[in-house]
Amino acid sequence: MSSPTAGFPDLGEPWTARMKRVLLGRKRELQPNVFHKVSLIALLAWVGLGADGLSSSAYGPEEAFKTLGTHTYLAVGLALATAFTVLVISYAYSRIIEQFPLGGGGYVVASRLLGQKAGVVSGSALVVDYVLTISISIAAAGDAIFSFLPPGWTSAVLLGVLPVKLLVELAAIGFLILLNLRGVKESVIALAPLFMVFLISHAILIGGVIIGRLGDIPAVFAEVHRGFAQGLQAPPIGLGLAGMMALFVRAYALGGGTYTGIEAVSNGLSIMREPKVQTGKRTMALMAVSLAVTAGGLILAYLLVHATPAPGRTMNAVLANQFAGGWAGIGALFVFVALLSEALLLIVAGQTGFIDGPRVMANMAVDSYMPHRFSQLSDRLTMSYGVLLIGGASLLALVYTGGNVTHLVVLYSINVFLTFSLSELAMCRFWVRERKKHPDWRKHISVHLTGLTLCVFILTVTVYEKFGEGGWVTLALTGGLIAGCFLIRRHYRRVHDKLRRLDGILTALPAGVAPPPAQSHDPAAPTAVLLVGGYSGLGIHSLLAVQRLFPGYFKNFVFVSVGVIDSASFVNVEAVDEVRDRTAADLRRYVELATGLGLAADSRMAVGTEAVATAADLCVQIAAEFPRSLFFAGKLIFERERWYQRLLHNETAYQLQRRLQFAGLNAMVLPVRVTEAA
């Protein structure tokens, strides 16, 4: 007998799919060694996740130093305070890595230790933070690149629409979106050389300034001493002790952009090579030391060369020109390489937003605070929905601020320190709760108390100082996202409560009655193929509906299920095996139920990252085995259709029906009515 799909088009590859394969690469199969292929060793994790923290040295120290104005004698204390804060927060997050080896960062920590509400606040702040990570990194990269271009280029407008600088920055974000849709490891490897060039050039810059001016250090310290003495005097001669402390505190807090990105390592722990905890702690150590030395070193270098802000140029551009601008021949080349590497590192730092932002959204989606589709993996094993949303939002943020780094730093820092504060508070609560089990708990909690104090202080000062200059925008955005998350959660819970009524079918089924004799399979007989999820009243409802609609017609019943690997299960081989085993167990229960009703029943399953494509391939195989198959899939039908339901609930049944019908197979959607659920 010929195949049921003979004479019909197969599920062939259209030109759009071919283009997608060229741009994004071939599908990745869920083989046991796939985790080794897509995970990152400490060095690559330092590039992909640590670049966010290290790149903040391009704008954080500059903002802090510029806030000092003419009182640069405070720069020595500022450099020490900056390095100390980096090390304290980094060490605190190393302890978080030990307690949460599967990653998740601020959202998971706050949810587990402070409750779901605190977790949603932290997670929402992180999502906005990662959007702004991309925007500020690309905007700062644009500033660095245009610092060594003719001044007219900065203000040039293309076709009277957008500035050339802003268009270049938008194109850079588009490039990162495409790169991340291919996969995390691919994007990190492609950007690793840029990271190393930055490290080498800035080590030469900072080390060269300090070593080259060793002879000037006594004179500089004498200036610092005189500055302190003058600053302690009462106004108008000096600032007075209170005024000097207030200026120092303000500069320290407004340099908070320096510490942004430290949490990225703990958030991205799940993509690291086993053993994850050791890899994560090694990555954190590399990032902490490199950031503390770079940020503190830059502030000292500004002081040693008496750097002053210049219009259209970053402080690092001023520093590089004063250090190497007078070198014959290679001076201009070094300045160009240093600034270009800084710009390129900032582009690498934008990568962190694409790595961790979708991951936070996926964790929230698993808990139903975000649309469930954000937890899905593409066939390249990336969270493509999250990548696209994070990338699109960062484009909007860049356009809204016009690529103004100072404005973006304010928006960025507030959310970062909100998350930091919640994470440190959560860990303080953890050690208080666990104090009887750990005799050395005081040593651990002291680190988190110190970190909590620093983070709350920086957050408070930043909100107070910058609320009217754009701080209210990030608070409004984060508040709106928090409210949206709770509304999404409420919708999912209402739908879940309505569907639980179907589970009453399970208790209504006859029990303790001897089953009729099971029938044998006849592949040539009419066959009902039911696509089901977990064992629940929803799947049994489909079975009973088919029997009611087609009484006595179908001689075979085949239950089909796809074990979907999402972000929650794509952590190791054991988790994938658990999904496979759970799917097989649920199918066995369906077969036992149908057999108990006297039906000839069997099952088929597959495991994949996307339900529609995997199920469609499996159905084609079943149709070859059972030529007279009719495929059934369930679909939630709401009493009142609203626009957001398509976003919150996928259209799997309709998509699968379309694909199967295009392949010449018969498919039917069974409605599952949900009343008053939205």
At 41 the pLDDT is: 63
Split at pLDDT 50, 70, 90, the class of 520 is low
> In which band, very low, low, confident or very high, does the pLDDT at 623 lie, cut at 50, 70 and 90?
very high
Confidence (pLDDT) at 603:
92
| Domains in the chain, CATH or no CATH each | 31-489 (1.20.1740.10), 509-674 (3.40.50.620)
Looking at residue 487, what is its pLDDT? Answer: 93
Pair 605, 561: CB distance under 8 Å? yes
Mapping DSSP to helix (H, G, I), strand (E, B) and coil, where does residue 607 land? Answer: strand
**Is the bond preceding residue 275 a cis peptide, omega within 30 degrees?**
yes
The residue ranking higher by pLDDT, 525 or 100, is 525
Which pLDDT belongs to residue 421? Answer: 92
- Residues in CB range of 104: below 8 A, 6 or more apart: 266, 267, 269, 270, 359, 360, 363
Tokens standing for residue 261: 């990105």
Q: Strand, helix or coil at 58?
A: helix
Pairwise CA distance, residues 83 & 297, whole Å: 9
Q: How does pLDDT run across 386-408, given as a tens digit for each residue? A: 888 888 899 998 888 888 877 78
CA angle 519, 521, 527 (to 5 degrees): 105
For the record, the structure tokens of 424 come out as 């440190």
DSSP 380: T
**SS3 state at 377:** coil
Comparing C-alpha atoms, which of 35, 100, 576, 53 is closest to residue 271?
A: 35
pLDDT for residue 629: 94
Look at the block and give the residue holding tokens 């952590």. 571
pLDDT digits (tens, 9 = 90+) for 213-228: 888 888 888 888 888 8
Of 176-180, 189-193, 674-678, the range with the lowest mean pLDDT is 674-678
pLDDT tens digit string along 22-36? 455 555 544 444 444
Average per-residue pLDDT in the chain?
A: 79
User: Is residue 18 very low, low, confident or very high in pLDDT (cuts 50, 70, 90)?
Assistant: low
What mean pLDDT is predicted for residues 606-634? Answer: 86
- Looking at residue 676, what is its pLDDT? 52
**pLDDT at res. 631:** 94
Cα 622 to chain centroid distance, Å, stands at 38
Q: Please tell me the predicted confidence (pLDDT) of residue 14.
A: 55
What is the average per-residue pLDDT within 264-292?
A: 77
Whole-number percent of the chain with pLDDT over 90? 11
Task: Determine the pLDDT at residue 224.
Answer: 86
Question: Which segment, 243-247, 480-484, 653-657, is predicted with the most confidence on average?
Answer: 480-484
What pLDDT is stored for residue 422 in this prediction? 92
Query: What are 169-184's pLDDT values in tens digits?
Result: 888 888 888 877 765 5
Q: How confident is the model at residue 382 (pLDDT cuts 50, 70, 90)?
A: low
- The per-residue pLDDT for range 330-376, each reduced to its tens digit, is 888 888 888 888 887 787 777 778 877 888 888 888 888 988 877 76
Residue 640 confidence class, pLDDT cut points 50, 70, 90:
confident
Helix (H, G, I), strand (E, B) or coil at 24: helix
Q: How confident is the model at residue 2 (pLDDT cuts 50, 70, 90)?
A: very low
- State the residue for tokens 């064992």: 535
Please give the pLDDT value at position 458: 86
